Amino acid sequence: MQQTQKTAYEMIGGEETLRKLVKRFYEVMDTMPEAKPIRDMHPADLQSSEDKLFMFMSGWLGGPNLFMEKFGHPRLRARHLPFSIGKAERDQWMICMVQAFEDVQIQEPVRSDLLHSLLNLADHMRNKQEG
Query: Residue 18: is it exposed, middle or buried by C-beta count within 10 angstroms (0-12/13-18/19+)?
Result: buried
The CB-based long-range contact list for 69-77 (8 Å cut-off, 24+ gap) reads 76/121, 76/124, 76/125, 77/124, 77/125, 77/127
* Residue extents of the structural domains in the chain: 12-124
User: What pTM was computed for the model?
Assistant: 0.93
Mean pLDDT in residue range 92-115: 97
**Domain 12-124, CATH homologous superfamily name and number:** Globins (1.10.490.10)
Residue 37 confidence (pLDDT): 96
Q: What is the pLDDT of residues 52-62, one digit of tens each?
A: 999 999 999 99
Mean pLDDT in residue range 96-111: 96
Query: How would residue 2 be classed by pLDDT, with cut points 50, 70 and 90?
Result: low
Q: What is the pLDDT of residues 19-49, one digit of tens each?
A: 999 999 999 999 999 999 999 999 999 999 9
